[in-house]
Structure 1
Amino acid sequence: MPEKHSALFTTRVREALPTLHPSERRLAELVLNFPGELASYSATELARLANVSNATVTRFVRKIGYASFEAARQDVRANKQAGASLFRVSPGRADSKNYIPAYVTQAQTDIEQTFRLITEAEIDALARKIVGARRVWLLGTRRGHAFAQYLGWQMFQAIPNISVIPASGETLGEAIAAMTAQDCVVAFGLRRTVSKLPQALAHVVGSGASVAYIHDANTLPDLAFTWRFQCETASPGPLFNHAAVITLCHVLATRVIAQAGAGGRKRMGAIEAIHDSLDEV
């Protein structure tokens, strides 16, 4: 039986609610509360949790447009991998005790695993390119935009030629059209990105600029980036942990300030002098 449309799993369930029988509706309410659990259970286990029959599970997945229970599981698994927070929520987490050590340990593990694959030579090469570039573009959408802003704010203390994109009211196309081979671009691709990011980054690479791509599992294997930095973002909870991403930004900004040398220190001194005169900070 072919799938009737490609809507998100939870959208399919909500659309089908008015047509469901009481037992099917009970199953629907269970999966709407914790849709990600569908990827973890067999049809029999899910039927037991909802107190319905296996036949009800089969009818339910077909009514929402899947050929089989396994097809529905695969779709849910893909949504979990893509980073949809609702699909990563599990029953019982709100009542868990002593959860802080688990988060701290996982953050440490993420940082350690990330930096096993990153060399000082790579970071310093990128830092030198940033310092010597005509303009530095920091590209980030959704959560990636926050990291682009943070990295730009830190490096702006030593080098002034920085643009965080997309800026308010502007399009990516307007910025990409201004890029040249003398520029450096640091792009963030953290789940969940906007759908057109791959096409936008293809144009960025086509500009001839040197491009560093900071990402988690959201890889773009067909693009010829100058540098790739993959960050681990595993977490015990429904939200990805970006401790490794912010650590990488911190290390890179620190190396940029070091590579900026006397010129960077002169700018930092001028900034501090103006802060003092304005009593600004």
Structure 2
Amino acid sequence: MTKNHKQTSEPCSKNTIVDTLHRIYQDFSKQEKRVADVILDAPGELGLYSASELAERANVSNATITRFVRRAQFSSYEELRLAAREARSWGSPLFQTRPVTSTGDNDFLSEFLEAETHNLAQALNSLVPSEVDEMTEALIAARNLVFMGFRNSHFLASYARNQFLQFRSGTRISPGPGETITESTADLTSEDVVLVIGLRRILTSLKSEMESLHDRGVPILLLTDPSARVMPAFARWTLTCPVESPYLFDSYSGVQSVLRILAYKSFQKSGKQGRAYMEAIEARHAETGAFE
């Protein structure tokens, strides 16, 4: 379902609490954004806090918590806590908390493996088969499939595009070399799909570009991490992968695996047409001696 970032008439529920906070995040006051940040950073812990404890963690007054609850369309703070508890019981990985700390143990490789495995498992466990089916159907049916990402997200967008171009035409990176984003997306319509990879640290301009695409009716599939704010409000589909690690530099093992799954499932759905496209590419490679 397309998320309308201006809609605030419905309260959160167990599967929309995070979406709702993203959707109305820009409407919060500076103090209310502090509260939203505490919740969005670890939504699974919300059910454990009293209103006063949440106020202390966010460094705001109890009155700010009351205004925040009202702005989020809850009748009381207890109703907000109940929604968080239900979401945690429901199994959303966003609500499964696990503190990330560096233990300082000598067995570096073992701990590094544990951290990577945790992120990979969280990313894959967050996938819902029916939603993956819906996303990959759209990725295959799109007239143009555009991949967008900046800084570290750029090479992941490039990786994803390189998988899809093996079995379907009409793929591109935005912006391409020497292009602005506007020049590379001006022709996009509701018949196209943009796969945006927006991982921390996110350029401010990406949010405005996503809003522009959203307002034009261009479907967006967003792959991001739990630190994202506002952007999910502009996406038709959002996949959230953890990237934080006890070690320097973010971990992208889960992100890359999710992208590979999207490509694999899309290739399956492409059927004979996708296989024929891949075979034609490989035949041309053989003719030109492209590889040793």
Same fold, judged at TM 0.5 (above): yes
Select the residue among 281, 285, 288 that pairs with 1:278: 288
Contact 1:176 1:203 in 2 (8 A): no
Q: Secondary structure at the match of 1:160?
A: coil
TM-score, with structure 1 as normaliser:
0.64
1:109 is aligned to: 118
2:143 is aligned to: 134
Q: Secondary structure at the match of 2:189?
A: coil
* 2-structure distance, mates of 1:188, 1:104: 24
Select the residue among 234, 237, 245 that pairs with 1:235: 245
Cα deviation for residue 220 of structure 1 reads 3.4
* 2-structure distance, mates of 1:176, 1:280: 31
Cα deviation for residue 270 of structure 1 reads 0.7
Letter in 2 for 1:239: F
Cα deviation for residue 107 of structure 1 reads 1.1
Q: Secondary structure at the match of 2:204?
A: coil
Contact 1:198 1:220 in 2 (8 A): no
Runs of 4+ more than 6 Å apart: none
Q: Determine whether 1:143 maps to 2:170.
A: no
2:254 is aligned to: 244
Cα deviation for residue 254 of structure 1 reads 0.5
1:226 is aligned to: 236
Q: How does 1:183-202 map to 2 (within 5 A)?
A: 183-202=192-211
2:132 is aligned to: 123
Letter in 2 for 1:189: G
* Alpha carbons of structure 1 residues 97 and 168: separation in structure 2 relative to 1, 3 Å: farther
Contact 2:200 2:228 in 1 (8 A): no
1:173 is aligned to: 182
* 2-structure distance, mates of 1:109, 1:120: 20
* 2-structure distance, mates of 1:149, 1:224: 22
Contact 2:220 2:237 in 1 (8 A): yes
Cα deviation for residue 134 of structure 1 reads 0.9
The Cα offsets for residues 225-274 of structure 1, whole Å up to 9 and x where unpaired, read as 21110001121212111110000011011011111110000011111111
Contact 1:136 1:163 in 2 (8 A): yes
Report how many residues are paired. 193
Cα deviation for residue 117 of structure 1 reads 2.2
2:267 is aligned to: 257
Letter in 1 for 2:262: L
Contact 1:141 1:166 in 2 (8 A): no
Q: Secondary structure at the match of 2:233?
A: coil
Cα deviation for residue 176 of structure 1 reads 2.8
Q: Secondary structure at the match of 1:186?
A: strand
2:73 is aligned to: none
The Cα offsets for residues 155-193 of structure 1, whole Å up to 9 and x where unpaired, read as 101101101111121111222322101001110110112
Q: Secondary structure at the match of 2:177?
A: coil
* 2-structure distance, mates of 1:138, 1:224: 16
1:55 is aligned to: none
Contact 1:191 1:217 in 2 (8 A): no
Q: Among the aligned pairs, what percent are the same residue?
A: 24
Contact 2:149 2:197 in 1 (8 A): yes
TM-score, with structure 2 as normaliser:
0.62
Letter in 1 for 2:173: V
Letter in 1 for 2:132: I
Letter in 2 for 1:139: M
Root-mean-square deviation (CA, aligned residues, Å) is 2.4
Q: Determine whether 1:268 maps to 2:268.
A: no
Contact 1:189 1:218 in 2 (8 A): no
Cα deviation for residue 97 of structure 1 reads 4.0
* 1-structure distance, mates of 2:173, 2:133: 21
The Cα offsets for residues 123-148 of structure 1, whole Å up to 9 and x where unpaired, read as 12111111111101111011111111
The Cα offsets for residues 87-142 of structure 1, whole Å up to 9 and x where unpaired, read as xxx9x98xx74311111111111121122222122112111111111101111011
Stretches of structure 2 that go unaligned for 5 or more consecutive residues are 1-58, 60-101
